[in-house]
Amino acid sequence: MVQLQIKKENVYVPDLAKLIKKRKMTEWETLFTFEFVEGRMKDLFTYKPGQFVQLSMFGIGEAPFSISSSPTKRGYLELGIRKTGDVTNKIHELEVGDVVGIRGPYGNGFPTESLKGRDILFVAGGIGLVPLRSLINYVIDNRDDFGEVTIFYGTRSPDLLLFKDELAAWEALDDIDLHVTVDAGDDDWKGNVGVVTTLFKKKKFKTENLSAVVCGPPIVYKFVVKELLDIGVGKDQILLSLERKMKCGVGKCAHCQIGHKLTCIDGPVFTLFQVEQMQEAI
């Protein structure tokens, strides 16, 4: 896909975007849909699954968020945001019609071209589903380009499951194999119980043509990677989307440096092979 970068005079100045929809997903996470105020931005702003934007709450600050919508859906951006600090709390107070600043897209994104023709296993822990959802929907919208698709998704409890409607929709597709689990169920929960790695017992994979795409909190990587290596997925076919503190998003502030790489420019998506070359990465 061709990357149309917006040539701007000053990379740090955000474009204005309006909140057009707000959908509460859990007590902590809400899905926000934004539309650029300037009409031409709808065509200029193109992105890849796995890229992120810097969102400005004017007067509070700026923070990076993965784009959760798929580029196959044009004209708007969806961000799934967890309430956790100054900027994110303020975002949750936004009302439809309010204006924020957005700049980007930044980061390398998932290698959609080289994933073509491959079987894909998505493994998401908690909020890790937010960035993966962009690629999942991209794959669904270009279904013929990809092989078998499996999704493993785990959260701590049923009330923390994100995108419940969409999970149901994915479940209904016969060319997507979705497995959801929770660390601890409640009275109504009929599904799997156990951490996300327990899902590996549910399915036998042929790994010659398998790529795995993983996103979750730091703890998830260690355990999921071990499972993936155990079933024989190649280190260059395990893709991890990493999180680091970010200020600039464009390789200047050095906050996101891991080993000799910058998460905002070289990442946030790295292969396990790369990650092993980078000190303190996972």
Partner 1 sequence: MSPPYVMKRTDIKKLVEAASNEYDVFGPVKKRSKHVFGKIDNPDNLVMDYDSTILSPRKYFQPQNEVMMSFDLEENKVEDTLDELRAMRPRLLMAVHSCDLNGILHLDRVFGGEYTDKYYFARREKTTIVGINCLDSCEYGFCRSMNTHHVVEGYDLFLTPISGDRYYVQVGTAKGEHLVHMARDIFQEAGPEDFGAFKAALKHKNESLPHEVDVEGINEYLDLSFHHEFWDKMAEDCVNCGACAMVCPTCYCYDVVDDLDLSLTSADRTRKWDACLFQEFALVAGGHNFRESPAARFKYRFYHKMRGFAHDQGILGCTGCGRCTAACPSDISIKDVLKELSGIWEVAPTAQGGK
When binding is defined by CB under 6 A, the residue of 53, 224, 264, 281 that contacts ligand FES is 264
Rounded distance, CA 135 to CA 51, Å? 10
Tokens matching residue 49? 């699954």
* Residue 243 binds partner 1, judged by CB under 8 A: yes
Distances (CA, A) of 151 to 23, 60, 61, 203: 23, 36, 34, 11
What distance in Å separates the CA atoms of residue 38 and residue 207, rounded to the nearest whole number?
A: 46
- Element of type H or E holding 226: helix 218-230
Nearer to partner 1, 120 or 128 (CB): 128
Rg from Cα positions in the chain: 18
Residue number, 191 or 259, with CB nearest to partner 1 = 259
Residue 199-238 contact track with ligand FAD, rule CB under 6 A, x = bound? ----------------------------------------
Q: Which residues, 53 to 82, sit near ligand FAD by CB under 6 A?
A: 61, 63-66, 80-82
Q: Which does 279 bind (CB under 5 to 8 A by kind): ligand FAD, ligand FES, partner 1, none?
A: partner 1
Q: Does 95 bind partner 1 (CB under 8 A)?
A: no
Task: Figure out which of the listed residues 117, 165, 172, 279 binds partner 1, where binding follows CB under 8 A.
Answer: 279
User: By the 8 A CB rule, do 269 and 239 touch?
Assistant: yes
Contacts of 172 (CB under 8 A, 6+ apart): none
Residue 118 tokens, joined? 């491959």
CB of 264 to ligand FAD, least distance (A): 7
Q: Does 61 bind ligand FES (CB under 6 A)?
A: no
Backbone conformation region of residue 120, classed left if phi is above 0, alpha if psi is from -120 to 50, else beta = beta
**Is there binding between residue 118 and ligand FES (CB under 6 A)?**
no
Is residue 172 within 8 A of residue 102, CB to CB? The reply is no
Ramachandran assignment for 59, one of left (phi > 0), alpha (psi -120 to 50 degrees), beta (any other): left
The HSE-up count of residue 228 (CA atoms within 13 Å, CB side) is 28
Site for ligand FES in 190-219 (CB under 6 A): none
Bridge-based pairing state of the strands 176-182 and 52-57:
unpaired
Piece of 112-120, 147-155, 187-195, 237-245 that binds partner 1 (CB under 8 A): 237-245
In the complex, the residues that contact partner 1 under the rule CB under 8 A are 9-14, 16, 57-62, 84-85, 88, 99, 101, 217-218, 243-245, 247-248, 250-255, 257-262, 279-280
In the complex, the residues that contact ligand FAD under the rule CB under 6 A are 52, 61, 63-66, 80-82, 84-88, 127, 130-131, 243-247, 268
In the complex, the residues that contact ligand FES under the rule CB under 6 A are 246-249, 251-256, 262-264
